[in-house]
Structure 1
Amino acid sequence: MIGQSMKAIVYSSNGDSEVLKLEERPVPDPGPGEVRVEVHVSGVNPTDWKVRAGLSGSLGDGESQVPNQDGAGRIDAVGAGVDPARIGERVWLYLSAAGRPDGGTAQEYLTIPAERAVPLADGADYDLGAALGVPALTAHRALTLAADGPDRLAPGALAGWTVLIAGGAGAVGNAAIQLARWAGATVITTVSSPEKADLAKAAGAHHIVNYRTQDVAKVILDLAPDGVDLVAEVAPAVNAELNLAVTRNNATIAFYANNGGDELRLPLRATFGRNLDWHGLSLYSVPAEPMRNGVAAVSEAVATGALRAGAEAGLPLVRFPLEQTAQAHEAVESGTVGKVLIDVRETA
């Protein structure tokens, strides 16, 4: 496609959504070990607006960035060392923009290391593909951090476990509910409203607790008298006391965000005396083997229909065209419930 141009969203300075600009750029050619993807749908996550805003590092002078880590589309060219049979393959993308200024999914074509373009199962549409990435891989990592738990999820991998998922109506919470349920766990989740309870129920949670109207610790301990085995936590600073109250000895609290506060304070004796593992995680620094396990498990869950997107799966889709990427970022930043997607192509 030498000489052809494409639409791309680019920002050259950190700031609010107004820094996102629509540009015409040359269609890139894949380098060795890369594939070129015709992007159909881009997914927006909190990490995308936080990076854009400069909360997670900042651009240097003269630097620019195409935003958004997640997306889905079709491989239309491959670089040296990549099997040409992959041309035409439908794929979902992860960490597309990580360390790659031109790699974000808010553009019509991109190049990406071949392993980050994962075959999308037959029957799974591009919307689902674009909703995987950050949420599903974060959820998988959170659910496999326990020292006495599995390294990779599969049916039965969490049989006999009781898992508490904070924020079951969020994108990571939704994926964690679906993956934990697929792996055989009993799933308890917390929400803040009846509407979010309906979403958590659609995702497959066995038990749903409204933390605004119920005594959360009492309800959870009534359900799991010996304490929960694992917590997937979005608000560790806020929920520290709760997690101490409802976990068993040797439990793991896997936290992946700082909602509600930037400092986590723990009573040391109550923590080490019960061998509690407070384990932080960021997808950007997950080791290679756990990442491969996550990609494989997420793909398997999608192929078997265990991991879904859309209102019927508790994850309503909120759509914007490429030209309104700024509004899509604003929607995520303002806490819009559901998965925010960008239709990069009209045929998506």
Structure 2
Amino acid sequence: MVSVGALTAVCRTLPVNQTTASLSYLLLVLVVASAWGLLAAISSSLVAAICLNFFFFPPVGTLTITDPQNWIALAAFLSTAVLASELSDRARKQAAEAVAQRREVERLYSLSRAVLLDPGQGSLGSTITSQIAETFNLRAVVLFDTFSRKTFLAGPEDIRLSMEEIELGLETGGLTEGTQAAAVKLGNKAVGILVVKGDLGTPALQAIANLIAISFEKAASEEVSSQARTARQSDELKSSILDALAHEFKTPLTSIKAASTSLLSRSLAPAHERELISIIDEEADRLTALVTEAIQISRIEAGKVKLNKAPTYLSDVVNSVLGQMKLRLEDRPVQVSLDPTLPAVLVDRDLIELAFRQLVDNALKYSQQGTSVSIQTSR
């Protein structure tokens, strides 16, 4: 109002004609619309129309308009002023929305960097809620993790909620005035619920919920990778220890084998001593075979095995393993059916014998005493 009065005084002092005054009032209305909005601009338009009629349309000094053309000019001015005010106000609001959206995107980017690049030294839920509250200046943030059944809180206000209240907020879109809720989903599976209190748009809320879901998935993947890495390191350590122990066992076994072989070479030893020495010699061979198997298995588990493939007949493998295990098979009937037409296969004979010994050993361990063991080869 004051601006219209000031402009009227200036126009009366100069003085100016009706056209100049009308354009001046129209320019003023546009400035008011840009600065204070549509309502102030419409009020200014009405006051400007009255001033234009009173001070510039004859008869001057009255609100009476005698010339019909002045009525048309006044109506055109008022219509133009209101329409221009509405357009200017709309442009102002769109500019403000664009600024707000840009700030929201900047905040989302900042939040995504803070969350996704977090080293993960603390609790993921506590870190995320704190980052959300700080980045978007929210009064309260509540995150419920459906896996751990834990609730994480952040923000200056304390709004402790039960699971029933959180689920209600998810169904209704909010719990109290200024509070909103969104589901945190991985695909079609809900992994959490986010409740915020403060000035935050629905698109931004959903974007934050999606970011939380990605963070949960990232944390789960890192946990799986860490467990796999730990298991791999454990297997490597186990294989290294087993390999070292197996090599340590080989030295005394070699000595025992050498001593038993030397004693057996003496023909003057009594019969019962020769029998005992034979048992020592055979058991030394068996222990050596077990140690060799342990070394091979440890190398296979560690991925350090080197295959020495050569044409091998399965019948030779079966007969070799049965010969090595004859002491363990003494009280077991063994039924062997070998197809003589089978061709040679390209395999590592030591490893295939190791695998076959394991199969026979399992058959002996997990079957009743005295039952027969059946071995068959076929195409």
TM-score with structure 1 setting the length: 0.20
Who wins on radius of gyration, i.e. which is larger? 2
Q: Which has the higher contact order (CA 8 A, sep 6+)?
A: 1
TM-score with structure 2 setting the length: 0.19
Q: Which has the higher strand share?
A: 1
Q: Which has the higher helix share?
A: 2
